[in-house]
Amino acid sequence: METVVKVKALHKTFGEVKALADINFEVPGGELFGLIGPDGAGKTTLIRILTSLMLAEQGTAEVLGLDAVKDYKQLRKRIGYMPGKFSLYEDLSVEENLELFAAIFGTTIKENYHLIQDIYDQIAPFKKRRAGKLSGGMKQKLALSCAMIHAPEIIFLDEPTTGVDPVSRKEFWQMLDRLKKEGITILVSTPYMDEAGLCDRVALIQNGRMLKIETPEQIEKDYEFPIWSVNTNRKRHIINDIRKFPHCRSAFMFGSEAHYTDLRNLDFPDGLYEHLTELGHEEIDIKTIRPGIEDCFMALMQQKETTHA
């Protein structure tokens, strides 16, 4: 498969802050590639560089065989971009926004309607409504329609589901899957670890550095420690108390339970139950679980911090 995104030794700083540090990766055509990481990880900076909206201090970024700096005019005609913040014209109607973006790219809604039909059909009942009056989910669908109206070969989506309700999030990823089946390459960033499993491959990114690039399945498979969920009646104190256990390797809160790994290679974390009981915990439940992407991310981040300490 032809490589459509190629990034080599990319660096970007803002004052004393290293936004990106030695970023290297490639994306083949037709792939749904995810940039997964928390706020401030460098996802937006990387997407802006790839879409020719920002310059890097060092390194190169090529998209569709075009240099993101030298060939920016040609590049912008062949890509789609959906920024994290809603940036369409709020005083224009849904229909007017779509017509405007089609005109900017020298096309019409009718010409590429097959690409956006599934998306636009959901907002068509509101086509006369001003964009600023739409719900978060509807704004998201309109923005994606405008990004796709000129039939781009690759689309860049910067945290498109942030702040959107769970149903709209699910619908959005279903739309991305349909676009991928049309042969469109998709690069999407998200802070939601559960969305990693919807990508073909993901890059886990933190503090401007790539922690790992692999398929979600392989990242979970590579997790090397037994892991347990720990639940008690004293949820406010559970993490601090677990970390006092002398054999604790790591402990992080996931929802209402803690995920724990042990320094010993054991089938069960012997002594942890007694340790928590002595600290006043009751209704203690400790069970083996399979690691998820977020567990892997936290382990990689902890490993990186140890390496650079």
pLDDT for the residue 84: 87
Q: Are strands 185-190 and 228-231 parallel, antiparallel or unpaired?
A: unpaired
pLDDT for the residue 307: 55
Beta-carbon-side half-sphere exposure of residue 6 (alpha carbons within 13 Å):
9
pLDDT for the residue 147: 93
Q: Which helix (H) or strand (E) holds 203?
A: strand 201-206
DSSP-based helix, strand, coil % in the chain, nearest 5: 35, 30, 35
Q: What is the pLDDT of residues 89-142, one digit of tens each?
A: 999 999 999 999 999 999 988 888 888 888 888 888 999 999 999 988 889 999
Q: What is the pLDDT of residues 181-216, one digit of tens each?
A: 989 999 999 999 989 999 999 999 999 999 999 999
Give the confidence band of 167 by pLDDT, cuts at 50, 70, 90. confident
User: pLDDT averaged over the chain?
Assistant: 93
Q: Where does 224-290 sit in CATH, by number?
A: 3.30.70.100
Residue 263 pLDDT > 90: yes
Give the confidence band of 149 by pLDDT, cuts at 50, 70, 90. very high
Q: What is the pTM of this model?
A: 0.90
Q: Where are the domains of the chain?
A: 3-220, 224-290
Tokens of 27: 């994306």
* Share above pLDDT 70 across residues of the chain, in percent, rounded to a whole number: 98
Q: Are strands 32-36 and 185-190 parallel, antiparallel or unpaired?
A: parallel
Residue 123 vs residue 54, higher pLDDT: 54
Q: What is the pLDDT of residues 20-44, one digit of tens each?
A: 999 999 999 999 999 999 999 999 9
Give the confidence band of 306 by pLDDT, cuts at 50, 70, 90. low
Give the confidence band of 309 by pLDDT, cuts at 50, 70, 90. very low
Q: Write b or e for each residue in 144-182: b if 16 or more Cβ atoms lie within 10 A of its Cβ, otherwise e.
A: bbbbbbbbbebbbbbbbbbebeeebbebbbebbeebbee
Q: Where does 3-220 sit in CATH, by number?
A: 3.40.50.300
Give the confidence band of 274 by pLDDT, cuts at 50, 70, 90. very high
Residue 308 pLDDT > 60: no
pLDDT for the residue 305: 67
Mean pLDDT over 227-248 rounds to 96
